[in-house]
Structure 1
Amino acid sequence: MKKLLFLFLLTTAVFLRCSPDKDLEVQVQLYESLRNNELSLIPKNLTNVSLPDSIDLSGQIIIKHFDSTIYVFDLDQQFLVRLKPTGEFLNIIGKAGEGPQELTRVRDFYVFRERISFLRPSGDVSILKTYSTNGDFIEAQNIPVGTSSFLQLGEDDFIFFTGFNNKEFEYQTYRYQPNRDNLTGVYKHTTDQPKMPLEDYPLIPYLDGFCYWPTYSSSIHFYDDSLNIDQFISMDYGPLQLKEEFMEKAPMEAANYAFDNGFYESRFYLMNQSKLLFSGTWVKSMNEQYPTLTVVDLENKRCSTLLMKPGTKDEAYAHFYQIDERYVYSFVDGYALTDNLKESLLGSSDDLESKSSYYLVKSEYSL
Structure 2
Amino acid sequence: MKYPKVIYLFLSVSLFQNCNQKEPFEASNALHTIEIKKDFLLNQVNELKFKATDTIDLERPGNPPLTTIQDVVFSTESIFLLDRKHGLLKYDDAGNFLQSIGKKGEGPDEYLMPTAIYLNEVENVALIADWEKMVVTSYDLEGNFIASSGKIPGRPISFYKEGDNLL
TM range (shorter): 0.5 to 0.7
- CA separation in 1, counterparts of 2:132 and 2:34? 40
Shift of residue 127, structure 1, vs aligned partner: 0.7
Over alpha carbons, which structure has the higher Rg? 2
CA change 1:144–1:65 in 2 (3 A) is same
Distance 2:127 2:34 in 1: 35
Is 1:55 aligned to residue 48 of structure 2?
Answer: no
The one-letter code sitting in structure 2 at the alignment partner of 1:98 is: E
Unaligned runs of 5+ in 2: 1-24, 39-52
1:35 equivalent in alignment to 2:61: no
Q: Normalization by structure 2: what TM-score?
A: 0.57
Deviations along 1:170-191, one digit per CA (max 9) or x if unpaired, are xxxxxxxxxxxxxxxxxxxxxx
Q: Which residue of 1 aligns with 2:3?
A: none
Q: CA deviation at 1:143?
A: 5.4
Report 1:337-356 matches (<5 A).
none
- Name the structure 2 match of 1:133: 141
* 1:90 pairs with one of 98, 103, 124: 98
How far apart, in 1, do the equivalents of 2:117 and 2:137 lie?
A: 9
1:118 aligns with 2:111: no
Structure 2 residue aligned with 1:245: none
Superposition deviation, residue 71 in structure 1: 1.3
| Cα distance in 1 between the residues matched to 2:116 and 2:34 | 30
Ranges in structure 1 where 5+ consecutive residues have no aligned partner: 1-30, 160-367
Judged with a 3 Å threshold, the aligned counterparts in structure 2 of structure 1 residues 84 and 96 are, in CA distance, closer, same or farther, namely same
Measured on the aligned residues, the alpha-carbon RMSD in Å equals 3.5
CA deviation digits over 1:64-98, x for unaligned, max 9? 223353211102x1421122222233322122111
Residue correspondences, number: 124
1:69 aligns with 2:62: no
C-alpha distance after superposition, 1:5-29 (max 9, x if no partner): xxxxxxxxxxxxxxxxxxxxxxxxx
Match of 1:108 among 108, 116, 123: 116
Contact 1:78 1:103 in 2 (8 A): no
Letter in 2 for 1:86: A
144, 150, 165: which one aligns with 2:159: 150
- Matches of 1:59 and 1:122 in 2, distance apart? 16
Cα deviation code 1:229-254 (max 9, x no counterpart): xxxxxxxxxxxxxxxxxxxxxxxxxx
**After the TM superposition, which residues 292-331 of structure 1 pair with which residues of structure 2 at under 5 Å, given as runs?**
none
CA distance in 2 between partners of 1:51 and 1:58 (Å): 14
Amino acid corresponding to residue 35 of structure 1 in structure 2:
S
Q: CA deviation at 1:105?
A: 1.5
TM superposition outliers: structure 1 runs of 4+ over 6 Å: 41-44
Greater fraction of residues in strand: 1
In structure 2, what residue type is equivalent to 1:62?
A: D
For residues 144 and 59 of structure 1, what CA distance do their matches in structure 2 show?
25
Letter in 2 for 1:121: W
1:139 Cα deviation after fit: 0.4
> Residue type matched to 1:88 in 2?
N
Partner AA of 2:28 in structure 1? R
- Contact kept, 8 Å, 2:70 with 2:116, in 1: the verdict is no
> In the alignment, which residue of structure 1 is the partner of 2:47?
none
Q: How many Å separate the matches in 2 of 1:145 and 1:105?
A: 16
Label 1:36 to 1:50 Cα distance change in 2 as closer, same or farther (>3 A). closer
TM-fit CA distance, 1:152: 5.4
Percent of aligned pairs with the same amino acid: 23
Q: Flag the structure with more relative contact order, 1 or 2, with Cα contacts below 8 A and sequence separation at least 6.
A: 1
Aligned to 1:45: 54
**Structure-1-length-normalised TM-score:** 0.29
- Decide whether the 8 Å contact of 2:112 with 2:132 is kept in 1: no
Conserved 8 A contact 1:112-1:152: no
Q: Distance in 2 between matches of 1:64 and 1:129?
A: 16
**Following the alignment from structure 2 to structure 1, what is the Cα–Cα distance between the partners of residues 54 and 63?**
26
